Structure 1
Amino acid sequence: MSAPTGPGPLRHGAGPRGLRRFTTPRGPREERCELCAAPLTDPRHRHLVDVEKRALACACDPCALLLDRSGDTRGRFRTVPGRWLRDPGHRIDEQAWERLGIPVGVAFFFRNSALDRLVALYPSPAGATESELDPEHWQSVLAATELAGLLAPDTEALLLRRHEGRVDCFLVPVDICYELVGRMRLRWQGFDGGAEARADLEAFFAYVDEQAREPRGSRS
Structure 2
Amino acid sequence: MNGPPNGTVRAPRPTGLRRFTTPRPPREERCEMCGARLAGEHHPHLVDVDKRALVCACGPCSQLMDRSAGSQGRFRAVPGRFLSDPGHRIDDRTWETLRIPVSVAFFFHNSALDRPVALYPSPAGATESELEESAWRSVLDATQLAAHLEADVEALLLRRHEGRTECFLVPIDICYELVGRMRLLWQGFDGGAEARADLDALFTRVRDLASEPQGSRP
- TM-score, shorter chain, exceeding 0.5: yes
Counterpart in the other structure of 1:202: 200
Tell me, yes or no, if the aligned pair for 1:12 and 1:23 is still in contact at 8 Å.
no
Tell me, yes or no, if the aligned pair for 2:67 and 2:75 is still in contact at 8 Å.
no
Counterpart in the other structure of 2:80: 82
- Where structure 2 has 5 or more consecutive residues not aligned to the other structure, the ranges are 7-13
Counterpart in the other structure of 1:20: 18
CA positional deviation for 1:14? 3.0
Tell me, yes or no, if the aligned pair for 1:121 and 1:131 is still in contact at 8 Å.
yes
Counterpart in the other structure of 1:56: 54
Change (3 A) 1:14 1:68: closer
- Is the partner of 1:14 in helix, strand or coil? coil
Matched, 1:33 2:24: no
CA positional deviation for 1:69? 8.7
- Is the partner of 1:178 in helix, strand or coil? helix
- Is the partner of 2:30 in helix, strand or coil? coil
Counterpart among 130, 155, 161 of residue 153 in structure 2:
155
TM-score for the superposition, normalised by structure 1: 0.90
Counterpart in the other structure of 2:118: 120
CA distance in 2, matches of 1:70, 1:89: 30
Counterpart in the other structure of 2:11: none
How well do the aligned residues superpose, as a CA RMSD in angstroms?
1.7
- Where structure 1 has 5 or more consecutive residues not aligned to the other structure, the ranges are 1-9
Tell me, yes or no, if the aligned pair for 1:84 and 1:171 is still in contact at 8 Å.
yes
Counterpart among 189, 193, 196 of residue 187 in structure 2:
189
Matched, 1:11 2:9: no
CA distance in 1, matches of 2:171, 2:158: 13
Count of aligned pairs: 211
CA distance in 1, matches of 2:205, 2:42: 14
CA distance in 1, matches of 2:126, 2:67: 30
Tell me, yes or no, if the aligned pair for 2:186 and 2:195 is still in contact at 8 Å.
yes
TM-score for the superposition, normalised by structure 2: 0.91
Counterpart in the other structure of 1:166: 164
Q: What one-letter code is carried by the residue in structure 1 that aligns with 2:2?
A: R
Task: Out of 13-22 and 171-180, give the one that drifted further.
Answer: 13-22
Percentage of matched positions with identical amino acids:
70
Tell me, yes or no, if the aligned pair for 2:30 and 2:57 is still in contact at 8 Å.
yes
Structure 1 runs (4+) greater than 6 angstroms displaced: none
CA distance in 1, matches of 2:160, 2:138: 17
CA positional deviation for 1:135? 2.3
Q: What one-letter code is carried by the residue in structure 2 that aligns with 1:133?
A: L
CA distance in 1, matches of 2:208, 2:143: 20
CA positional deviation for 1:73? 6.8
